[in-house]
Amino acid sequence: MILGVGHFYRLARAGYIMAREGVFALLDPALLPPAAAPLVRFANLFAGGKRDGAGKALVRALAQIGPSYVKLGQFLATRPDIVGGEIADALTALQDRMEPFGYDKAVAIVEKALGRSIDELFVSFGEPVAAASVAQVHVAEAQSREGVRKVAVKVLRPGIEHQFAVDLRDMYRIARLAERYSSEARRLRMIEVVDTLARTVRLETDFRLEAAAASEFADNVAGDPEIHVPRVDWSRTDREVLTLEWIDGIPLSDIERVAAEGHDLKAIGRNVLQSFLRHAMRDGFFHADMHQGNLFVDKKGRLVAIDFGIMGRLGLKERRFLAEILYGFIVRDYKRVAEVHFEAGYVPASHSTEEFAQALRAIGEPMHTISAADISMARLLTLLFEVTALFDMRTRTELVLLQKTMVVAEGVARTYDPTLDIWKTCDPVVRSWIEENLGVKAKIEDASRSVTELAKLATRLPQTLQEAETAIQRVSEMSERGVDLSPHSIEALAEARRRSDRWFLLALVALFLLAVWLLRG
């Protein structure tokens, strides 16, 4: 019961802070479910004087609630299908900065994690140069085969895993409640959203996993002359410590300094977009947090990526889907784009292919009436997700993450070249992938894979038949013994569920009011 009270109090506190900052002020109660409208009206009684948009209000609120909610906001910035494009754009400005937790604590964590004294591990170990909710970064020097080299040492913040675990339990409770009462929440897969956030948090709080992501990404781009990924120092990396090659470069956020160093700004813009598409389509593994603070340019003019806590993956099916819809929009074959959605199973078969193609035409035709410099692939995908929602397309997390990353990458590219021709820039990458993966060679490879799968199925067939026979026998035995599903027992279960739901909602409202009273006091 104590845990339950703490759970409701935390949610009530979060709700109060959002109400005070005006997050709910722009919601129209008439458009909300009947049970939610009175709560929103009540919450708006505590709204402050600021009325600068729901996005900015949400940024302020999440920053105050705590680090887990900052991470939630950063994650929701990649999900415009849930919060809308305007709020998603506002959330990209959510800063994850905190006070350092101290040099001595960091040294103790490093020594405990790596099992050696700091002097044995590093030639020098400096004060923290950056601090966020998950970790802080120190500049150090380490001995290697090439001599003494400069490294970046990322140290996990003490107690952060417990805090994330507590807050994630709260978020799961809200997601389950939303999916129980809202068909839209079920379509958006709110529980799956929290699942994805939980996986991201696990990745970010176990630096061995982030190191593995950085290593895989580095292997994929080893032959690409336009991008560099810092090397992982595995001998000085563990769950709570990540040591990487130090990057001497200029962050892309400092465009004036980049220009002053004589770098070709248009080439950088083109490189950002082409690199992202190449990683997504060729490798199926892309950096999903490509904002300007995570991208540098080194003295050779190469892009350098850091922070591999959020990475995206696309299977071959998703990559083919992406290539076909992009190509279909380019050649204005909207019927084919519609068929691809149905073939992939993304849109329910109960809808009409012709009507879906008509909706897609409404997206594609305007793209052919504007200048090349004004065409936005990210805008195209954003509109596509808006239309597919009308046809009950269930959220594909990996595709939404791809779309949002493309928005960010395109934004960075256009910062460096406002006249960038998106189609001309992307054409070599997309066309090359289509020729290699959707041509005759790809069809032969598909046929080969199909034959292999059929062979595997044939070898498993006897075992499958035996398992099926066993299952049928067990069902037969259960039917002979009987199962008590009388109308009386079913009604008793239903009444217990209704009673539980009523008490849950009453307790939530009561604890919210109690928290408001305590906080106002």
Q: Which of 167, 170, 238, 289 is catalytic?
A: 289
Strands 241-245 and 227-228: unpaired
Q: How many CB atoms lie within 10 A of CB 313?
A: 14
Q: Supply φ then ψ for residue 354, to 5 degrees.
A: -65, -40
CA distance 267 to 264: 5
- Give catalytic status of residue 289 as yes or no: yes
Strands 227-228 and 303-305: parallel
CA distance 86 to 77: 10
Q: Return the percent helix, strand and coil in the chain, to nearest 5.
A: 65, 10, 25
As given in the structure block, the two tokens for residue 332 are 């204005």
| 98: alpha, beta or left? (left if phi > 0; alpha if psi -120 to 50) | beta
Contact 308, 244 (CB under 8 A): no
Residue in the structure block whose two tokens are 């035996």: 466
Sheet holding 124-131, edge to edge: 124-131, 135-144, 147-156, 241-245
| DSSP code, position 155 | E
Burial 498-519 (b: 16+ CB within 10 A, else e): eeeeeeeeeebeebbeebbeee
The full DSSP string for 276-324 is HHHIIIIISEEES---GGGEEE-TTS-EEE---SSEEE--HHHHHHHHH
Catalytic residues: 289
